[in-house]
């Protein structure tokens, strides 16, 4: 499912995904597009132990985005990728 918000943010939600593959594929796709990706923060969810969060800053020329990835740790599960302008 893809969600577009009025403030320019968007999200992609997969019911079942491999979290490692989601991150690897995103990094490769952005590299291929010439977009720099820097990991700003990585952490397990304090309320739901099975969830893992990664916060990135993506940039190309003068454009910057915040990219948030939430995945189920250690097994396939729901994955949410959110991009904020």
Give a yes or no: residue 31 inside a domain.
Answer: yes
Give a yes or no: residue 23 inside a domain.
Answer: yes
Query: How many structural domains compose the chain?
Result: 1
Give a yes or no: residue 36 inside a domain.
Answer: yes
Range of the domain at 36: 18-64
pTM here? 0.86
Give a yes or no: residue 69 inside a domain.
Answer: no
Instruction: Summarize pLDDT for 21-31 with one digit per residue, the tens.
Output: 999 999 999 99
Q: Which residues fall within 8 angstroms of residue 7, CB to CB, at 6 or more apart?
A: 85
Burial of 66 (0-12, 13-18, 19+ CB in 10 A): middle
Tell the residue number behind the tokens 């820097």, with chain if given: 38
Instruction: Summarize pLDDT for 27-81 with one digit per residue, the tens.
Output: 999 999 999 999 999 999 989 888 999 999 999 999 999 999 999 987 889 999 9
Give a yes or no: residue 52 inside a domain.
Answer: yes
């Amino acid at each position: 499912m893809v969600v577009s918000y009025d403030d320019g943010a968007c999200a992609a939600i997969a019911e079942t995904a491999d979290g490692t593959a989601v991150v690897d594929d995103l990094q490769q796709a952005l590299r291929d597009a010439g977009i720099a990706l820097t990991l700003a923060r990585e952490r397990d969810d304090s309320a739901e132990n099975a969830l893992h969060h990664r916060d990135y800053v993506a940039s190309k020329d003068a454009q910057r985005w915040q990219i948030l990835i939430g995945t189920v740790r250690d097994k396939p599960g729901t994955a949410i990728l959110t991009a904020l302008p």
